[in-house]
Amino acid sequence: MISTKLVSRFFGNENARDLAWRLKNGGYEGARKALGMDPQEIVSEVITSNLRGLGGAGFPTGKKWTFVPRQSEKPKYLAVNADEAEPGTFKDRYILEWDPHRLIEGIIICCKAVGIHVAYIYIRGEYLNPYERLVAAVEDAYRQKLLGPDVMGSGFSLDVHVHRGAGAYICGEETALLESLEGKKGWPRLKPPFPALEGAFGCPTVINNVETISHLPEILLKGGKWFAELGVKNNGGTRLFAISGCVSNPGVYELPMGTTMRELIYEYAGGIKGGKALKGVIPGGTSSAVLTPDEIGTPLTFDALAALGSMAGSGAVIVLDEDICMVKALHNIESFFSHESCGQCTPCREGTGWVHKILSRIIEGNGQKSDLDTLNDFTVNMNGTSICALCEGAVMALKSFMFALKTGFTRMTRRPPALWAFLLL
């Protein structure tokens, strides 16, 4: 097994929350180096690193920063997305709970690179312990002049604010996050304009995920080339994978990009609980298409999973064993999307609701043969017809489960449960 721990280095170590201890153990050295560098030099290192956005979209981080105008009459902002609400996702919580100073250090680096002097951390409202620990870390950083008008005596000013959300999944979408941050209803915005030009308060804004920002200290200290070589082509470094479901050792594992699904499940997570057979794997949160057992040799990279018609998403791996009823699993997923739809777009508001109702009817034993055609129609009419990707996530799950039920999963079932047998007609 390869052991490469960067952002997870201090997970489980309560001392890491203490600023004095953190400073003695390499804390803020990457930020100190960045403060003495030319901003463009920092951006170049991040581009070289092949660091991708680790919140779901996987867009190259350094390239994303270049979309923000170098010179701007308006102030520029950083919004850190800590609204971790994708089902099965719990990796960012570990950073916030165990090593909040790593995130703050990454924020300093990002802001220096882009010329930002105000940053917001938008944190999920239900994350009480992470919120309290993050706020305490920010306060400690101010007391030690790691934040404020003269960061580490460099003359660079930076203020960081922690903003709690109200528990809406939709606010994990970047423009809905900005609307909520501004005190408005968390509804996604039409794009363009994109946040890099018109984001928070109508000003240029960088939006990055917690884990993405937390990788910056190592990149600055050891170089973008070093980080890139830890991973594979176009997918640099390591990634946190939150694995749950039917495995012996669920949890968060930091592994090099390019690690396969099979390695994660059987070498790190201890294999399928109880020695049962694998039926399927959701590779990147419930928005991603489910994979069948013959696809688990796939590397857990953005490109490899996209080639299969799925996605790496939030890094949330949910393992399903032979006893899982796939219709019940799909019903659970679609229930979530129906509940969390913000209601702004009709195809999403009505479509997710109808998908949930039809699946409920099937589970109750009242399914009709025409339901399959209706669900197929939904996968066409709902896809790409709404402002944000919530509707598309619901469609991806629906389409992939329906396809796999009729093909891949049938091989794993000794006796097809009557509950979903009609879907195999």
Instruction: Please give the average per-residue pLDDT across 333-349, as a whole number.
Output: 95
Residue 44 lies in a domain: yes
Q: Output the pLDDT for position 401.
A: 86
Instruction: Please give the average per-residue pLDDT across 125-151, as a whole number.
Output: 97
Q: Output the pLDDT for position 79.
A: 98
Cβ proximity of 122 and 183 under 8 Å: no
Mark whether 50 and 121 lie in a shared domain.
Answer: yes
Residue 421 lies in a domain: no
Partners of 256 in the beta sheet? Answer: 238
Residue 323 has pLDDT above 90, yes or no: yes
Q: Output the pLDDT for position 131.
A: 97
Which of the 8 DSSP states describes residue 288? S
Mark whether 265 and 330 lie in a shared domain.
Answer: no
Q: Report how far residue 91's alpha carbon sits from residue 278's, in angstroms, rounded to the nearest whole number.
A: 23
Identify residue 70 by its one-letter amino acid code: R
Mark whether 283 and 222 lie in a shared domain.
Answer: no
pLDDT in tens, 208-253: 999 999 999 999 999 999 999 999 999 999 999 999 999 999 999 9
Which structure tokens are listed for 208? 């990055």
Closest CA to 75 of 202, 193, 208: 202
Q: Output the pLDDT for position 57.
A: 83
Mark whether 57 and 86 lie in a shared domain.
Answer: yes
- Identify the CATH number of the domain in which residue 87 sits: 3.40.50.11540
Partners of 280 in the beta sheet? Answer: 320
Mark whether 210 and 347 lie in a shared domain.
Answer: no
- Identify the CATH number of the domain in which residue 347 sits: 1.20.1440.230
- Identify the CATH number of the domain in which residue 268 sits: 3.10.20.600
Residue 196 lies in a domain: yes
Instruction: Please give the average per-residue pLDDT across 18-34, as a whole number.
Output: 97
Q: Over the range 139-155, which residues count as b (16 or more CB within 10 Å of their CB) and which as e?
A: ebbeeeebbeeebbeee
Summary mean pLDDT of the chain? 92
Q: Report how far residue 200's alpha carbon sits from residue 180's, in angstroms, rounded to the nearest whole number.
A: 10
Mark whether 264 and 158 lie in a shared domain.
Answer: no
Please say which residue of 321, 342, 370 terminates a domain: 321
Mark whether 146 and 265 lie in a shared domain.
Answer: no
Residue 22 lies in a domain: yes
Closest CA to 319 of 279, 287, 274, 288: 279
Residue 68 has pLDDT above 80, yes or no: yes
Q: By percentage, how much of the chain surpasses pLDDT 90?
A: 84
Cβ proximity of 62 and 49 under 8 Å: yes
Mark whether 47 and 155 lie in a shared domain.
Answer: yes
Partners of 163 in the beta sheet? Answer: 122
Residue 405 has pLDDT above 70, yes or no: no
Mark whether 188 and 284 lie in a shared domain.
Answer: no
Largest CA distance in the chain: 71
Q: At what angle do helices 128-143 and 100-114 cross, to 10 degrees?
A: 60
Residue 117 has pLDDT above 70, yes or no: yes
Q: Output the pLDDT for position 415.
A: 35
The tokens 């919004």 sit on which residue?
79
Residue 207 lies in a domain: yes
Give the up-direction half-sphere exposure of residue 320: CA atoms within 13 A in the CB hemisphere: 24
pLDDT in tens, 73-101: 999 999 999 999 999 999 999 999 999 99
Q: By percentage, how much of the chain surpasses pLDDT 70?
A: 94
Closest CA to 261 of 310, 330, 219: 310
Mark whether 224 and 253 lie in a shared domain.
Answer: no
Residue-range definition of the domain harbouring residue 266? 238-321
Q: Report how many domains make up the chain.
A: 3
Please say which residue of 300, 321, 342 terminates a domain: 321
Please say which residue of 263, 296, 321 terminates a domain: 321
Mark whether 258 and 191 lie in a shared domain.
Answer: no
Q: Output the pLDDT for position 383.
A: 87
3-state secondary structure of 65: helix
Mark whether 293 and 387 lie in a shared domain.
Answer: no
